[in-house]
């Protein structure tokens, strides 16, 4: 981690070391610890809170203009992988807000980051006002990535927008994008046109040209690689010098946790580099979930990457780019590049990731992956007519129940929620159940408990 220590003569430094602050932090830690330790396992909703909870859910639907996917309103406390809802129920959170909360709930390091941020003058940092902590984060991320530059942003969609702007400016007047079938790039007007789900852009204007190519087929690796390369060549020949960039989800998250081999990616990226087409790695979901901090490092693709994005686990999102793709002044500028709390949390998380024993073939991520996969594999062997899989890589794990029927899988995930486990869906034809596990806080015993609930919910569809 890159450090830029502040002078002890500064009033901010003196504030952070004030004995009243130190004592207040200790009291807060003790209070949270005393209350969260009472959450020891799942439990059902309380009957006396049923009416008030339903009222809150109804009001949420009314005010936000749509129903929540899960009937989930958190109370504000949890214990690692366990979280308490406002109806008094306690559930295993194995989706973590679709990824951000890898530490789980009520983590003491997150508490410290939030307190430090609250003491740090400004709530939001951005174009004209950034504190030293922004510099520390950017410098640390640049060093960890191996790329030359890093620009912070408030969401994965905005990070991807910035990546596309960089690519288009560099390759002007090229205006086309290459992307994989079943990819997901975000839900903004631009990124929704890349996301391979027409329903996500219904009624939106179209002003972007996207050419899709097939993703890797693990059952036919050689033929798959050749088929994808030929598809790219056809697009490039049909529209000479018109492609600015190709978007790579090295692990297709929303698509169903599909990935590919290093050879597949290397073959395609080599062709793109020969034709001056930018290689953009979208790691908003895959960042810090494989055996390396970046998935492109896990697949040994560093030499090919021109632009990359991260999000979710990192709390604050970011766009990375090489010196060759450094944009002209004015292209990237945001009033808010992130909240001070998210920047402090990101620094704390990055420090833990880089200094903990999470990565590598013997690291905690792979160890938890192997155990979870082994337990789910037992379910597949026991109920071959009900479940296939598991699939995925690292802390991204999925399985296919009920032959991937979208309606049945969605119903299953909601029944699983009622039974005390939060997952989510991914992909279509087949639709899968996916987990983004809180790998900093779960144990093998937690996995055993969750797998037991999965089994009971699978074999009892009436629950």
Phi then psi for residue 371, to 5 deg, are -70, -45
Task: For residue 307, give the nearest of 330, 329, 284 by alpha carbon.
Answer: 284
> Helices marked H in 312-433 — which ranges?
340-355, 364-382, 406-419
pLDDT band at 236 (very low <50, low <70, confident <90, very high): very high
End-to-end Cα spacing for the chain: 49
What integer is the mean pLDDT of 69-93? 98
Question: DSSP code of 326?
Answer: P
pLDDT band at 189 (very low <50, low <70, confident <90, very high): confident
Task: For residue 86, give the nearest of 120, 45, 147 by alpha carbon.
Answer: 45
pLDDT band at 451 (very low <50, low <70, confident <90, very high): very high
Joined tokens for residue 175: 């205006």
Task: Find out whether 268 and 281 touch, Cβ atoms under 8 Å.
Answer: no
Phi then psi for residue 248, to 5 deg, are -115, 115
Please say if the pLDDT value at position 434 is more than 80.
Answer: yes
Please say if the pLDDT value at position 397 is more than 90.
Answer: yes
> What is the helix (H) or strand (E) element at residue 194, kind and residue range?
helix 191-194
Please give the Cα distance from 232 to 238 (Å, whole number).
10
Phi then psi for residue 146, to 5 deg, are 85, -5
Please say if the pLDDT value at position 152 is more than 90.
Answer: yes
Would you state the pLDDT for residue 202? 85
Phi then psi for residue 122, to 5 deg, are -105, 145
Would you state the pLDDT for residue 197? 84
Task: Find out whether 119 and 271 touch, Cβ atoms under 8 Å.
Answer: no
Please give the Cα distance from 217 to 229 (Å, whole number).
13
What integer is the mean pLDDT of 89-109? 97
**Partners of 210 in beta bridges:** 177
In this predicted model, what pLDDT tens digit does every residue of 103-138 receive, in sequence order?
Answer: 999 999 999 999 999 999 999 999 999 999 999 999
Task: For residue 287, give the nearest of 319, 323, 313 by alpha carbon.
Answer: 313
What integer is the mean pLDDT of 406-430? 96
Enumerate long-range contacts of 62-71, CB under 8 Å, 24 or more apart: 70/414, 70/417, 70/422, 71/417
Task: Find out whether 42 and 151 touch, Cβ atoms under 8 Å.
Answer: no
Would you state the pLDDT for residue 46? 97
pTM of the full structure = 0.95
C-alpha 210: how far from chain center: 24
pLDDT band at 463 (very low <50, low <70, confident <90, very high): low
Q: Which fold has domain 116-355?
A: 3.40.640
Percent of the chain with pLDDT strictly greater than 90: 91
CB-based contacts of 167: which residues, under 8 Å, 6+ apart? 244, 245, 278, 280, 306, 307, 325
C-alpha dist (Å) from residue 111 to 33, 130, 136, 357, 435: 11, 22, 20, 22, 25
**Partners of 90 in beta bridges:** 43, 84
Please give the Cα distance from 400 to 164 (Å, whole number).
33
Task: Find out whether 206 and 193 touch, Cβ atoms under 8 Å.
Answer: yes
| 3-class DSSP assignment, residue 403 | helix
User: Could you please report the per-residue DSSP string of 11-56?
Assistant: HHHHHHT-HHHHHHHHHHHHHHHHHHTT--S-BPPPGGGHHHHHHH
The domain locations on the chain are: 7-31, 38-98+359-463, 116-355
Alpha carbons within 13 angstroms on the beta-carbon side of residue 74 total 14
CB-based contacts of 395: which residues, under 8 Å, 6+ apart? 102, 289, 365, 368, 369, 436, 437, 439
Could you name the CATH architecture of 38-98+359-463?
Answer: Alpha-Beta Complex (3.90)
Task: Kindly report whether the peptide bond that precedes residue 390 is cis, defined as omega within 30 degrees of 0.
Answer: yes
pLDDT band at 461 (very low <50, low <70, confident <90, very high): confident
Please say if the pLDDT value at position 3 is more than 90.
Answer: no
Mean pLDDT across the chain: 96
Would you state the pLDDT for residue 176? 97
Please give the Cα distance from 152 to 25 (Å, whole number).
29
Question: DSSP code of 182?
Answer: T
Please say if the pLDDT value at position 447 is more than 80.
Answer: yes
């Amino acid at each position: 981690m890159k450090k830029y220590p502040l002078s002890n003569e500064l009033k901010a430094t003196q504030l952070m070391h004030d004995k009243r602050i130190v004592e207040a932090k200790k009291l807060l830690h003790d209070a949270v610890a005393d209350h969260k330790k009472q959450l020891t396992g799942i439990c059902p909703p309380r009957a006396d809170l049923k009416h008030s909870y339903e009222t809150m859910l109804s009001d949420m639907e009314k005010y936000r203009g749509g129903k929540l996917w899960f009937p989930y309103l958190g109370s504000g406390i949890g214990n690692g992988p366990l979280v308490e809802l406002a109806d008094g129920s306690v559930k295993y959170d194995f989706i973590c807000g679709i990824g951000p909360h890898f530490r789980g709930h009520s983590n003491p390091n997150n508490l410290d980051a939030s307190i430090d941020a609250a003491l740090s003058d400004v709530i939001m940092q951005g174009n004209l006002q950034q504190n030293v902590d922004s510099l520390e984060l950017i410098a640390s991320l640049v060093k960890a990535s191996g790329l030359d530059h890093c620009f912070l942003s408030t969401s994965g969609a905005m990070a991807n927008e910035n990546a596309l702007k960089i690519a288009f400016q560099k390759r002007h007047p090229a205006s086309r994008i290459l992307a994989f079938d079943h990819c997901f790039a975000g839900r903004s007007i631009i990124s929704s046109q890349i996301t391979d789900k027409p329903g996500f852009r219904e009624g939106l204007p179209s002003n972007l040209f996207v050419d899709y190519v097939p993703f890797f087929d693990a059952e036919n690796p050689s033929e798959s690689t050749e088929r994808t390369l030929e598809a790219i060549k056809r697009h490039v020949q049909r529209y000479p010098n018109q492609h600015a960039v190709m978007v790579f989800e090295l692990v297709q998250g929303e698509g169903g946790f599909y990935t590919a081999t290093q050879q597949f990616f290397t073959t395609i990226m080599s062709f793109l580099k020969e034709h001056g087409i930018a290689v953009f790695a979208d790691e908003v979901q895959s960042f810090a979930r494989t055996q390396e901090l970046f998935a492109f490092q896990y697949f040994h693709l560093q030499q090919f990457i021109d632009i990359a994005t991260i999000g979710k686990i990192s709390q604050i999102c970011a766009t990375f780019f090489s010196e060759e793709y450094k944009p002209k002044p004015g292209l990237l500028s945001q009033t808010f590049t992130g909240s001070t709390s998210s920047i402090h949390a990101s620094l704390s998380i990055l420090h833990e990731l880089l200094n903990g024993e999470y990565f590598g073939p013997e690291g905690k991520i792979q160890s938890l992956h192997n155990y979870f996969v082994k337990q789910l594999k037992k379910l597949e062997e026991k109920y071959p007519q009900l479940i296939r899989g598991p699939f995925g890589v690292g802390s991204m794990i999925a399985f296919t129940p009920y032959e991937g029927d979208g309606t049945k899988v969605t119903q299953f995930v909601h029944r699983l929620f009622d039974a005390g486990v939060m997952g989510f869906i991914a992909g279509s034809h087949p639709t899968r159940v996916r987990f983004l596990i809180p790998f900093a806080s779960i144990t093998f015993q937690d996995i055993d408990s969750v797998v037991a609930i999965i089994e009971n919910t699978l074999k009892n569809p009436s629950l």
